[in-house]
Structures are given as C-alpha cells and as structure tokens.
C-alpha cells in the first residue's frame, strides 16, 4: 500500500514538472528580463569604473530581446492557457500589455541617457537592477489570476518603486520614498486582510475556479463588499487613483524624470489589468463594483484636475494629471462592455506614449534651466521654438484635443460609457460621462500653462545648455506618433478588437 502511494505521488510530481516545463515558453519574456537583470548585476560586480556603456548595452539589449520574444508570441498566438498551476494566465491581453511595457521601458531609458541622468542610472547597476525587477513585477501583474500571485506581483512592483524613489542621495528623495513606503505598507496590509477574507469565504485563492465563484455566491452582501473593497484597494493604490493617491506628487517631483516616466505608466496599466481580471470573474449582482469604481473615477478626475490647476512645477503638475488620467482609464472599465475594454486599452497605450513624451520634453527643458518650475521656463519657447512646439503638441494630446491621438482616446472611452448607459440605464454611468467631459475642459487650463510660460512670458533665467539636434530628433520621434495615430487609430483598434476578453 505504501509503495503504491509513493508510486502515485512520484507520478503526480512527474506530471506537474512536465506541465511546468511546457509553461516555460509562455514565460520566455519574464526569463529574458531575469537574465538581463542577472547580467546587469554581474557586470556591475565585475567592473568598477567606466561601466556606463556596458550597463546601457545590457539594459537595451535585454528589453530588445524581450520585445522580440513578445512579438513572436503575439504573431504565433494560438489559444488562452492557464499556466504554472493556474497561478498565471497566458493570453493576448497579457502579451499586448507586455509589448507596450517593453517599449515604455526602453523609452524611459532613452530619457535617462539623453537628459542628464546618465550618471544616476548608468554609472552603477543598482538602479537598473531594481528597474528590471519592476519590469518583472508588471509582467507578472498582467498574467496573475491567483490572489497570492496578485499580491506578490504588486509587492514586487511596490518595493522596486520605493527603492527607485529613494536610492539616489537627497533629502527630498528620501522623504518622498518614505511617504511612498508608508502608504504602500498600509494599502498592502489592507489588501492582504481582504484576501484572507476571500480565502475564508471560498477556500481557494484561484479567482478563476468555480469554487471561488460559488463560494462568493453564498456570502452575504456586507462582508463580501468589505472584503472586495479591501482587496481592490490595494490594486487602486498602484493605479494611483483616489483615495490612494497622496504619495504621487512628492514622488513624481523628487524621483529622477526617467524613473518617474516608467512607474507613472507601467504599474498603472498593470493594475488596471488586475482590476479587469478580478471584476470579470465576480458573479453578476453580488457586488455593485460599477458604483464604487465609478465614484473612484469621478473623484480621481475632479481631484487630479483641480489640484493640477494650482501647481507651479511641471513634474508636480503631471503627478496630479496622472491621478486624473487614472480616472479616465477607469471609465472604459466601468462601462463593462467589449467596446469599453477596447477603449480602455487604447487609452492606456496612448497615455503611455503621451506621458513618456511629456517627461522627455520636460527633462530636456529641465536640463537647460536646472529646474522644472514654470517660472524658470519663462520665454524658453522663444529661444528654442522647435522644442516649444513639441511641448505644445504633447500638452494638447494630454488634454484630449484634435489633431492628436489624445482626442481619439477620450472619444473612444466616452463613446463606450455613453453606449453602456443607453443599454444598462445605470445612473452612475451617466454621471461618469457628464463629469468626465467637464473635467476634460478643466484639464485644458493647466495643460496649456506650460506653453503659455514658454511663449508668452519673459524671464531672465540663464539657459545652461543650448538645444541640440539629437534632442530635436528624439522629441520628434516621441511626438510624431501622436499626430499620425490621430488619422490612423483604426489600425491599433483593429489589433485590440482581436483580443479575446472573455474568461
């Protein structure tokens, strides 16, 4: 009898190992990121001086190889699969997001290489190693379907973000990192407590299992609502939406611009994906998540936009605007339709391009004046008209006006929420639609503040460095797609429409 049990256990273990080995191909992008991380760590330990070129080469090659692998996965995708013992889900949604994450990471490193932060990021490998750890975390966030894996992937991203904020010297950076850590620790504890409730209700951590769904159906409304709010709260913290937004302004202002451009976009989109996955498995009628997320979206848009109006620093303004954009990203999710899902992804992809472009141009201006304050950028557009025009285009795109792709992004999400309201007749959808449109008008006033200071104000601030041709080239590369995709957005929408959102 004992020998029979041992034989069965050995057979089960062999089958499990065989299944895990088959899952390795689906995790090839993550493996590529880990290899790059280890190479960065090894190179940093082996060489003591003049490491910038080597570290930069490893970092860019690591992201390039990851991008190639993801492209191959996208073009050869066959079917959705649950992998690693149902901890992760391999599907088109995760592959698409990891593709744009790789692109966003590469753009962030370009900002670091081009805009005066070379010594900070490339002189030693610590920042790059932590940054690749963040890439690994957001990759796993896009695939996680188990509550434990959801928590662990969020923690990987959070810990890396705390360290990237405070790893460089400076009192402001240390203060921002500590504030980020404290708020993160609280939200993490609340989320973990909510997960423990859900596990107690269902007896499983797999949100896609029938046991999880049926277990939730047997729970009364009040404890289920409390548990889900606590769990979703941890995800909203990474999204940077109200009420888990307080860390954003100080972190954005203190951290290096290249680092901020990355973790102001990638974790947001990854958190949005987690919200999408959790919400789509909830039984209908058990939990009014549309009301809760609708209120969060409205509060984020109002608080973010009106707070941005009073800012005197460009990076701090973008911090508050990112809170508002978190609300706009939630609009597509609240619609709870296929059109809403597609518009949400389109908005997220375009927001990544717009936001990274904005940080690139602000970093260029910051290098020339030594500050990101509006007062120090007075008249800079007249001295560098080409860069000033690029700034105007990016700010118009972030506002959501034509002829930029920002207009298309807002048009799609508001069209989706309006169509959803006509079908579902849910009053919260109407409020999200109306207040979202009004907040788009509010955003116009603060996004055009920077162009106003660049072209219509005069100042005596000394320009430390003249504009260069490479700056013009990289600025053009960042801005040109915002104009082209205004006329050719159907191509990306067709790609997004091919994604299967059904679980």
Q: Which two tokens stand for residue 352?
A: 């990544």
pLDDT in tens, 26-54: 899 999 999 999 999 888 888 877 777 88
**C-alpha closest to that of 145 among 187, 77, 86, 61:** 86
The one-digit pLDDT tens for each residue of the chain (503 residues) are: 445 434 445 555 555 555 556 678 789 999 999 999 999 988 888 887 777 788 888 999 999 999 999 999 998 888 888 888 888 889 898 999 999 999 989 988 888 877 654 446 777 778 889 999 999 999 999 999 899 999 999 999 999 888 888 777 677 778 888 888 888 888 899 999 999 999 999 888 888 888 888 888 888 888 888 898 899 888 888 888 888 877 888 888 777 788 888 888 888 899 998 888 888 888 767 778 888 899 999 999 999 999 888 888 888 888 889 899 999 999 988 988 888 889 999 999 999 989 888 888 888 888 777 777 888 788 887 888 888 889 899 999 999 888 999 999 999 999 999 999 999 888 899 999 999 999 988 888 889 888 888 888 776 655 555 667 777 888 888 889 899 888 888 888 888 888 877 65
Could you tell me which of 138, 114, 157, 170 has the C-alpha nearest to residue 66? 138
End-to-end CA distance of the chain: give it in Å, rounded: 41
Q: Is the pTM of this model over 0.75?
A: yes
pLDDT of the residue at 20: 59
- For 156, list phi and psi in degrees, rounded to 5: -60, -50
Alpha-carbon distance 392 to 31, whole Å? 40
Q: What is the pLDDT of residues 68-122, one digit of tens each?
A: 999 999 988 888 888 888 888 898 989 999 999 999 899 888 888 776 544 467 7
Which residue intervals of 76-170 are DSSP H helices? 92-114, 118-122, 126-143, 147-166
Burial of 500 (0-12, 13-18, 19+ CB in 10 A): exposed
**Buried-state track 236-263, b at ≥16 Cβ within 10 A, e below 16:** bbbbbbbebbebbbbbbbbbbbbbbbbb
Q: How much is the pLDDT for 247? A: 80
B/e letters for 412-450, b = 16+ CB within 10 Å, e = fewer, are bbbebbbebbeeeebebbbebbebbeebbebbbebbebb
What pLDDT score does 1 carry? 46
pLDDT at 407: 92
Q: Which pairs from 171-175 meet CB under 8 Å and 24+ separation?
A: 172/250, 172/253, 172/254, 173/254, 173/255, 175/250, 175/254
50 φ, ψ (degrees, to nearest 5) = 50, 55
Q: What does R_g of the chain's alpha carbons equal in angstroms? A: 23
Query: Using CA atoms in the order 138, 143, 146, 148, what is the torsion angle rounded to 10 degrees?
Result: -20
DSSP sequence for 403-424: TSHHHHHHHHHHHHHHHHHHHH
Burial class (CB in 10 A: 0-12, 13-18, 19+), 211: exposed
Rounded Cα distance between 63 and 363, Å, is: 22
Helices and strands (H and E) in the chain: how many: 23, 2
Query: How far apart (Å, rounded) are the C-alpha atoms in residues 503 and 501?
Result: 6
pLDDT of residue 463: 55
Using the structure block, give the residue that is written with the tokens 């807002």: 410
Q: What was the pLDDT predicted at 477?
A: 86
How high is the pLDDT of residue 370? 73
């Amino acid at each position: 009898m004992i020998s029979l049990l041992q034989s069965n256990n050995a057979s089960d273990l062999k089958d499990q190992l065989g299944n895990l080995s088959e899952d390795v191909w689906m995790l090839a992008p993550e493996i590529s990121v880990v290899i790059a991380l280890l190479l960065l760590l090894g190179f940093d330990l082996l060489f003591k001086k003049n490491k910038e070129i080597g570290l930069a080469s490893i970092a860019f090659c690591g992201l390039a190889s990851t991008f190639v692998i993801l492209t191959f996965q996208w073009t050869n995708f066959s079917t959705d699969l649950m992998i690693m013992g149902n901890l992760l889900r391999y599907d088109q949604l995760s592959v698409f997001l990891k593709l744009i994450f790789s692109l966003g990471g590469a753009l962030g490193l370009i900002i670091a290489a081009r805009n005066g932060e070379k010594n900070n990021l490339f002189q030693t490998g610590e920042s790059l190693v932590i940054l690749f750890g963040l890439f690994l975390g957001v990759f796993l966030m896009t695939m996680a379907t188990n509550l434990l894996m959801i928590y662990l992937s969020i923690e990987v991203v959070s810990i890396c973000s705390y360290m990237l904020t405070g790893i460089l010297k400076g009192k402001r950076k240390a203060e921002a990192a500590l504030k980020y850590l404290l708020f993160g620790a609280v939200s993490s504890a609340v989320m973990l407590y909510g997960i423990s409730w859900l596990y107690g209700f269902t007896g499983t951590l797999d949100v896609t299992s029938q046991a999880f769904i049926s277990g939730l159906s047997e729970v009364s409304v009040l404890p289920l609502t409390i548990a889900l709010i606590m769990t979703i709260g941890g995800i909203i913290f990474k999204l940077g939406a109200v009420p888990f937004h307080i860390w954003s302004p100080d972190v954005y202002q203190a951290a290096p611009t290249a680092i901020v451009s990355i973790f102001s976009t990638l974790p947001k989109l990854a958190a949005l994906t987690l919200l999408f996955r959790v919400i789509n498995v909830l039984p209908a009628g058990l939990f009014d998540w549309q009301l809760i997320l609708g209120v969060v979206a409205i509060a984020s848009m109002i608080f973010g936009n009106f707070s941005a109006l009073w800012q005197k620093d460009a990076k701090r303004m973008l911090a508050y605007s990112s809170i508002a954009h978190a609300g706009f990203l939630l609009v597509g999710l609240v619609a709870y339709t296929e059109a809403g899902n597609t518009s949400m992804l389109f908005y997220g992809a375009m927001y990544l391009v717009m936001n990274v472009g904005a940080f690139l141009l602000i970093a260029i201006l910051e290098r020339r004046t030594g500050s990101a304050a509006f007062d120090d950028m007075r008249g800079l557009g007249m001295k560098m008209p080409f860069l000033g025009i690029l700034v105007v285009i990016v700010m118009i795109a972030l506002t959501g006006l034509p002829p930029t792709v920002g207009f298309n992004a807002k048009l799609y999400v508001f069209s989706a929420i309006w169509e959803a309201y006509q079908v579902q007749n849910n009053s919260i959808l109407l409020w999200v639609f109306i207040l979202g449109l009004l907040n788009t008008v509010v955003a116009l006033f603060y996004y055009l503040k920077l162009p106003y200071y660049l072209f219509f104000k005069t100042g005596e601030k000394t320009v430390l460095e003249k504009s260069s041709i490479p700056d013009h080239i990289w600025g053009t590369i960042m801005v040109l797609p915002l104009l082209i995709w205004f006329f050719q957005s159907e191509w990306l929408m067709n790609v997004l429409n091919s994604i299967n959102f059904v679980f």
